Amino acid sequence: AWSEIPLAPPDKILGISEAYVADANTNKINLGVGAYRDNTGKPIIFPSVKKAEQVLLELEKEKEYTGITGSKKFQNAVKNFVFNNSNKDPNGKQLIDSGRIVTAQTISGTGSLRVIGDFLNRFYTNKKILVPKPTWANHVAVFKDAGLTPEFYAYYETSKNDLDFENLKKSLTSQDDGSIVLLHACCHNPTGMDLTVEQWDEVLQIIQDKGFFPLIDMAYQGFASGNPYKDINLIRRINELVAQDKIKSYALCQSFAKNMGLYGERTGSISIITESADASKAIESQLKKLIRPIYSSPPIHGSKIVEIIFDEQYNLLESWLSDLDKVVGRLNTVRSKLYENLDKTNYNWDHLLKQRGMFVYTGLSSEQVIELREKYSVYATEDGRFSISGINDNNVKYLADAINAVVNK
């Protein structure tokens, strides 16, 4: 009977927003959800996106379904953006031209993770997926629900507020050959700490030695450097290894939620890099077979915005790149303002300056986070992750004072 169904716990991140809304303190700050806010604390629509929507309003003549895996125009725009990398990645271009990349539009990054999870569960022999500790909580939930077995590899040492690279290598090496391994392309969520080029090379060597299947999640492309074409070192390096036949296949989950601000439009993609054009055909047909009974086809508004932004005739690419650069610039400014205002006598805050993206991973304990919430109305997840777009000129001093008080207690 329905009455026997147990109550499920609320989503950790969304639960924080609810508590924030209910708080009457006018100084309250929401550092929970990873969505951009401007310096007045409001969400924005990228001006380039607004312009693309105006083009759409003029030109759109129908609201027909797109294909199960989205439109060819969207797929080609994504391939060109991510793999050809503005004509800077000859290996990626070669993979596109030889038909070795299957790209499908998905329901944003989460949808793409779920589709590839289901696909791997159906067609890949090894069900173990190695994910960094810590990782975005939904990774574990998505892969479990897709029938895979997530297991952590070492990534970050909270006591040192730094990467734990030696243990990362050890824990990957000790895993079963042929496992799936999840890599964050840049702006690792929640720590904001990425590997260097040299460290990626070492990890890619382990991946080759162990025959792992690399699954890359790229939700924050552009948020590390301000330029999406620069944040793609991992993809370019892996394409080089594919060109040398050292890695045969990998998959990339990609989202426009953050870097075009298309959050609720649910626009992203899955790309599978295959061994041959023939393999691509079969894989594409199986992706269609898998997606059709779940949601039939993806939504069209966001993907049409993406198509327009990448379509040269509308001249919007440069404005988008500059919109994104401004967003990232503001995040970097508040990051350093927070750092400036923090008391470094009893706590070393230098890790803040090494972290990139939408978050700072403070290293505060869950007790300290709860104290910030209860005494100062500062809302963040209990792992000490702060979504810094909630910080602005008006509240950075209040926030730093609150943190200083809690740390120096």
3-state secondary structure of 301: helix
How many angstroms separate the CA atoms of 297 and 356, rounded? 34
How many angstroms separate the CA atoms of 154 and 163, rounded? 9
Q: Does 268 contact ligand PMP by CB under 6 A?
A: yes
Q: Is 258 a catalytic residue?
A: yes
3-state secondary structure of 58: helix
C-beta of 249: minimal distance to ligand PMP in Å?
21
Q: Does 383 contact ligand PMP by CB under 6 A?
A: no
Return the residue of 96, 193, 224, 257 that touches ligand PMP, per CB under 6 A.
Answer: 257
How many angstroms separate the CA atoms of 103 and 95, rounded? 12
Nearer to ligand PMP, 92 or 109 (CB): 109
Q: Which of residues 151-210 bind ligand PMP (CB under 6 A)?
A: 189
- Single out the catalytic residue among 51, 258, 304, 337: 258
C-beta of 48: minimal distance to ligand PMP in Å?
19
Q: Report yes or no: 360 and 390 within 8 Å, Cβ to Cβ.
A: no
Q: Does 255 contact ligand PMP by CB under 6 A?
A: yes
Nearer to ligand PMP, 115 or 247 (CB): 115
Return the residue of 89, 164, 194, 217 that touches ligand PMP, per CB under 6 A.
Answer: 217
Q: Report yes or no: 92 and 115 within 8 Å, Cβ to Cβ.
A: no
Task: Please tell me the count of residues contacting ligand PMP according to CB under 6 A.
Answer: 12
How many angstroms separate the CA atoms of 388 and 335, rounded? 7
Nearer to ligand PMP, 231 or 403 (CB): 231
C-beta of 368: minimal distance to ligand PMP in Å?
23
How many angstroms separate the CA atoms of 75 and 287, rounded? 14
How many CB atoms are located within 10 Å of the residue 31 CB?
Answer: 26
DSSP tag of 83: I
- Single out the catalytic residue among 89, 118, 217, 231: 217
Q: Is 217 a catalytic residue?
A: yes
Q: ∠ CA 254-255-256 to the nearest 5 degrees?
A: 135
Q: Which of residues 78-137 bind ligand PMP (CB under 6 A)?
A: 108-110, 136
How many CB atoms are located within 10 Å of the residue 178 CB?
Answer: 13
Residues that bind ligand PMP (CB under 6 A): 34, 108-110, 136, 189, 217, 219, 255, 257, 263, 268
The catalytic residue positions are 136, 217, 258
